[in-house]
Amino acid sequence: MSSEHGGAIHSVLIENRSFPPSAEFASRARVGSIEEYERLWTRAKDDPEGFWGEIAACLTWSKPWSRVLDWQPPHARWFVDATLNAAENCVDRHCVGANRNKAAIIWEGEPGDRRVLRYQDLERETAKLANVLKRFGVRPGDVVAIYMPLVPEAVVAMLACARIGAPHTVVFGGFSAEALAGRIQDCGAKVLLTADGGWRRGKIVPLKEQADLALATCPTVENVIVYQRTAHKVGFEPGRDHWWHEVTAEASPDCPPVAVDSEHPLFILYTSGSTGKPKGILHTTGGYLVGCHATTGWVFDLRDDDTYFCTADIGWITGHSYVVYGPLARGATVVLYEGAPNWPDEARFWKIIEDYRVSILYTAPTAIRAFMKWGEQYPLRHDLSSLRLLGTVGEPINPEAWIWYQRVIGGGRCPIVDTWWQTETGAIMISPLPGATPTVPGSATRPLPGVVPEIVTKDGKPVPVGHGGLLVIKQPWPAMLRTLHGDDDRYRATYWSEIDGCYFTGDGARRDENGNYWILGRVDDVLNVAGHRLSTMEIESALVSHARVAEAAVVGRPDDIRGQAIVAFVTLESGQSPSEAVRQELRAHVVKEIGALARPDDIRFSESLPKTRSGKIMRRLLRDVAAGRETVGDTSTIEDFSVLARLRSDDEV
Ligand code: PRX
């Protein structure tokens, strides 16, 4: 946590509009009044084991638990001694009755190709791929890496791993070869599932090419299974590389799901923290799946006849919990779209909603702000009357974007669920229940049942109502992360040492007099750029790994569409002079090291960086500089921080 926040966060946003659920929505909803929500929440707080024990009956277990929770802070075991299989819960159990012919995945590729996988198709494809993985020596506990475009096979890949108890690690297709290699090396994956490429804005994303570069430094990967999506020519290493369609064609569709312990790892998902190296967030099977199933029901009020469209990629936690595990555990119909929202034009999402009669849309504030900028004419061209519920996730939503979303996309009739949660929390933590909670633009409103948050100073003292502070969670919950892969010390230090006895979220928040939570953003060195989480230090390490760079500091600058933009202050090695060419070279270097999502928007050269006497970079000052001035047009300009640095003392940082 950076010292500058210290728990005293100034909050300026005042928003008084409140929208109660309509009587019609409430009458059909699972939780239909605020009193019912409050009863559930209080029951869960007072008797978490009784509460979650009842909720967990929603899953199919192979063996029941002996205890609901074993809590040895900061380590939790949920549904102790029970066994189950996540793929069986998400697929097989829906194939026994009429739902076997229900659409599990309705997919649309960016070029316009379409496919529907019914639950029984998903079962067959998953079982075949699982048999292939077994043939390649994957055993329960072995990690499988997934680096794929958003095609149905990406979901099949995750579920095939789950079927045989092999934890998956999905790496977003926008990450570079270096980033992929780092993640594979950290988790020691044995097999890589990838594709020749994917489609994005009419161009091929060269996944196999990046994978080949990565694999040069990943000796643990013995076999690579390549899904053919773009059919352009790619390198192929005989013995190591196999075409997906060839190996699965020979595979048996019969592969019984392996019942694993409730605490068996389901996946590792890497995310950025406040130090250079990404963290491998470890989620296990029983608690995670209970959390996803329960929250999908409460928050999306998902019903059998819904058509649900979550726009996240499976490379992020939203894709794990609310494209795959939550909705499929409930037997829902999920719409998947491979490409960009503005391809071939800015109406793509609205066309998808009209074509498939989507009833629930879950997307990110950054996308909503882009839709606003593109203009109402695009959604107005399409019939969006099938929508009944809207959701947002990933960053605070400004009230203006919220109101636009409600009016233009929701036609004034759809409740909006602003869902606060994190890769670490596994499932939604703070959100309205659409039939119960009055919504307030910009507020994620109230904690879900089983979630006990508090807002505290850095000494752990609760702050008064209306004051900003640090958001912590006081009780364990089933979908919580269990540790960081291979680094339990960092797990303890990052989440459980800042505030005594509590899970520290890294976010600042405020609670108003109505009990609504307002998330104020990160209080650590984590950026949120277009809903993607990035570490300033990760970008700094990428920059200093370039031979010309002596030192670098990266900060966020407010950005109207993407929430934050990336600004890097760079000191070059002596003898190097700043120029536009060097600036471009450094931007390209960051793309190579991490991926295009981390490309600095602005690189400013400086002869030295402003530091405190103890050597800490004065980030607040850099943030002010980054926010307050236009991009320097003269490429040779050098910022001079030496005077400022001398004027500031350590306490002021
Ligand atoms: O700062 C919060 C912000 O996103 C962070 C978590 O990022 P990540 O692990 O990538 O997960 C994103 C998808 C769950 C949080 O610490 N955040 C997420 N949702 C919201 C939010 N900030 C405000 N309002 C939200 N609804």
Q: Contact 326/126 with Cβ under 8 angstroms?
A: no
Contacts of 43 (CB under 8 A, 6+ apart): 50, 51, 449
pLDDT at 629: 55
Query: Given its phi and psi angles, is residue 79 left (phi above 0), alpha (psi -120 to 50 degrees) or beta?
Result: left
Protein residue with its CA nearest to atom 5 in ligand 1: 422
Q: Is 528 in the pocket of ligand 1 (CB under 6 A)?
A: yes
Q: Is 419 in the pocket of ligand 1 (CB under 6 A)?
A: yes
Alpha-carbon distance of 98 to 84, in angstroms, equals 23
How much is the average pLDDT of 276-283?
Answer: 91
pLDDT at 599: 97
Q: Is 396 in the pocket of ligand 1 (CB under 6 A)?
A: yes
> Residue 393 Cα, ligand 1 centroid: separation in angstroms?
7
Q: Is 522 in the pocket of ligand 1 (CB under 6 A)?
A: yes
Residue 155 has pLDDT above 80, yes or no: yes
Protein residue with its CA nearest to atom 8 in ligand 1: 422
Q: Is 398 in the pocket of ligand 1 (CB under 6 A)?
A: no
Q: Is 317 in the pocket of ligand 1 (CB under 6 A)?
A: yes
pLDDT at 642: 61
pLDDT at 649: 38
pLDDT at 614: 75
Alpha-carbon distance of 326 to 346, in angstroms, equals 29
Residue among 393, 430, 471, 517 whose CB has most ligand 1 atoms within 8 A, to mutate: 393
Alpha-carbon distance of 263 to 190, in angstroms, equals 21
pLDDT at 636: 45
How much is the average pLDDT of 633-642?
Answer: 55
In ligand 1, which atom is closest to the CA atom of 532?
A: 10
Give me the chain's average pLDDT, please: 93
Model confidence at 424, in pLDDT bands (50, 70, 90)? very high
How much is the average pLDDT of 623-635?
Answer: 65
pLDDT per residue as tens digits for the range 403-416: 999 999 999 999 99
pLDDT at 9: 58
> Residue 650 Cα, ligand 1 centroid: separation in angstroms?
31
Residue 637 has pLDDT above 80, yes or no: no
> Residue 394 Cα, ligand 1 centroid: separation in angstroms?
4
Alpha-carbon distance of 633 to 408, in angstroms, equals 38
pLDDT per residue as tens digits for the range 51-100: 999 999 999 999 999 999 999 999 999 999 999 999 999 999 999 999 99
Ordered alpha helix ranges (H), 47-141: 48-55, 86-90, 119-135
Residue among 271, 397, 420, 523 whose CB has most ligand 1 atoms within 8 A, to mutate: 420
> Residue 423 Cα, ligand 1 centroid: separation in angstroms?
8
Complete DSSP assignment for 272-284: --SSSSPEEEEEE
- Residue 281: closest CA among 454, 485, 66, 587: 485
Residue type for 341, please? P
Query: Comparing 618 with 168, which gets the higher pLDDT?
Result: 168
- Residue 77: closest CA among 88, 65, 89: 65
Q: Is 393 in the pocket of ligand 1 (CB under 6 A)?
A: yes
Residue 647 has pLDDT above 50, yes or no: no
Q: Which two tokens stand for residue 650?
A: 């350590």
Model confidence at 3, in pLDDT bands (50, 70, 90)? very low
In ligand 1, which atom is closest to the CA atom of 428?
A: 14
pLDDT per residue as tens digits for the range 539-576: 999 999 999 999 999 999 999 999 999 999 999 999 99
Model confidence at 612, in pLDDT bands (50, 70, 90)? confident
Residue among 267, 533, 538, 562 whose CB has most ligand 1 atoms within 8 A, to mutate: 533
What φ, ψ does residue 397 adopt, rounded to 5°? Answer: -105, 130
> Residue 93 Cα, ligand 1 centroid: separation in angstroms?
32
pLDDT per residue as tens digits for the range 203-262: 999 999 999 999 999 999 999 999 999 999 999 999 999 999 999 999 999 999 999 999
Strands 168-170 and 144-147: parallel
Alpha-carbon distance of 49 to 567, in angstroms, equals 47
Peptide bond into 441 cis (omega under 30): no
Q: Is 421 in the pocket of ligand 1 (CB under 6 A)?
A: yes
Q: Is 402 in the pocket of ligand 1 (CB under 6 A)?
A: no
> Residue 379 Cα, ligand 1 centroid: separation in angstroms?
26
Alpha-carbon distance of 126 to 588, in angstroms, equals 38
Residue among 519, 523, 529 whose CB has most ligand 1 atoms within 8 A, to mutate: 519
pLDDT at 630: 47
Residue 7 has pLDDT above 60, yes or no: no
Give the CA distances from residue 163 to residues 166, 193, 290, 483, in Å, rounded to whole numbers and listed in that order: 8, 15, 17, 22
How much is the average pLDDT of 273-302?
Answer: 94
Alpha-carbon distance of 526 to 549, in angstroms, equals 22
Model confidence at 140, in pLDDT bands (50, 70, 90)? very high
pLDDT at 644: 57
> Which fold, 526-649?
GMP Synthetase; Chain A, domain 3 (3.30.300)
Helix (H) or strand (E) holding 400: helix 399-404
